[in-house]
């Protein structure tokens, strides 16, 4: 089946982005991988881009438009994680977390919007996290960056709907990908926190390694890409849908306490 649609995915060299790229290609999409590294032996079109650098992102999007004439779908999948205690994580690492996860998403969305407005249609899918709802101790900056993406998507939804552009955010839970090994880990202050930093991060990594597959999230992303209309927010996986639903029912104080009990 051929759709002749053009998809741009940031971070399609691995993880959720790569799984999504493969599934979209099976449906006939032409897929552009905007990232710092190509995926080996893949058919997607690689263009070097650092999402935290708005100039390289704009240049990459301009190249896509020059080659293909349009962009039907954008999936912002590039992301990274920083773990450690709020007071001890270095400022450079803290800022890097937001530069990639939040501003990387914003840079890419801003770059595609002029073309999508011109087309009077387009679909934007931003990869967020259940950590946006349940802020994880010793992953405060990661959680905050993902919560900011959800707020960004909510605002953007109303800004661009008159142009035929629909925007949504997808929240996965724990995923078994290279994200775990690539995390920037700061154990600074672990002695002050009586070893809790190390044990909490170990618990996170165990959950991630036993988590959902990238394909399970990619299937939802592709479904939303093809759906006639989308809501601003979706959760991937029944377990995590239940958790997000419970977050609306539980008193906030109790929800925070429950999460804290998971990472001692």
Backbone angles phi, psi at 3, to 5 degrees: -105, -20
* Beta strands 73-76 and 165-171, pairing class: unpaired
134, 141, 142, 193: which one is catalytic? 142
Reading the block at residue 135, the tokens are 């802020």
Query: Coil, helix or strand for 88?
Result: coil
Respond yes or no: is residue 263 known to be catalytic: no
> Contact, 15 vs 218, CB < 8 A?
no
Point out which residues pair with 166 in neighbouring strands.
123
Q: How many CA atoms lie within 13 A of 115 on its CB side?
A: 25
Residues 6+ apart with CB under 8 A from 246: 255
Positions marked catalytic: 142
């Amino acid at each position: 089946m051929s759709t002749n649609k053009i998809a741009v995915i940031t971070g399609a060299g691995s993880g959720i982005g790569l799984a999504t790229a493969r599934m979209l290609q099976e449906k006939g999409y032409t897929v552009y991988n905007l990232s710092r590294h190509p995926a080996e032996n893949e058919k997607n079109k690689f263009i070097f881009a650092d999402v935290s650098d708005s100039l390289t992102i704009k240049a990459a999007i301009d190249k896509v438009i020059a080659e293909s004439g349009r962009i039907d779908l954008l999936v912002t999948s590039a992301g990274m994680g920083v773990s450690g205690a709020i007071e001890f994580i270095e400022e450079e690492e803290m800022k890097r977390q937001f530069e990639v996860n939040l501003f990387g998403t914003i840079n890419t969305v801003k770059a595609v919007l002029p073309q999508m407005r011109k087309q009077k249609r387009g679909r934007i899918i931003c990869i967020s996290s259940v950590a946006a709802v349940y802020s994880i101790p010793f992953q405060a900056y990661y959680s905050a960056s993902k919560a900011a993406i959800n707020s960004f998507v909510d605002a953007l939804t109303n800004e661009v709907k008159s142009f035929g552009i629909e925007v949504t955010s997808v929240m996965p839970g724990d995923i078994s990908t290279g994200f775990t090994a690539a995390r920037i880990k700061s154990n600074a202050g672990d002695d002050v926190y009586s070893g809790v930093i190390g044990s909490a991060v170990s618990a996170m990594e165990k959950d991630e390694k036993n988590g959902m597959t990238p394909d399970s999230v990619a299937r939802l992303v592709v479904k939303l890409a093809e759906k006639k209309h989308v809501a601003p927010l979706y959760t991937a996986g029944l377990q995590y849908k239940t958790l997000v639903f419970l977050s609306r029912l539980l008193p906030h104080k109790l929800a925070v306490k429950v999460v804290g009990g998971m990472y001692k």
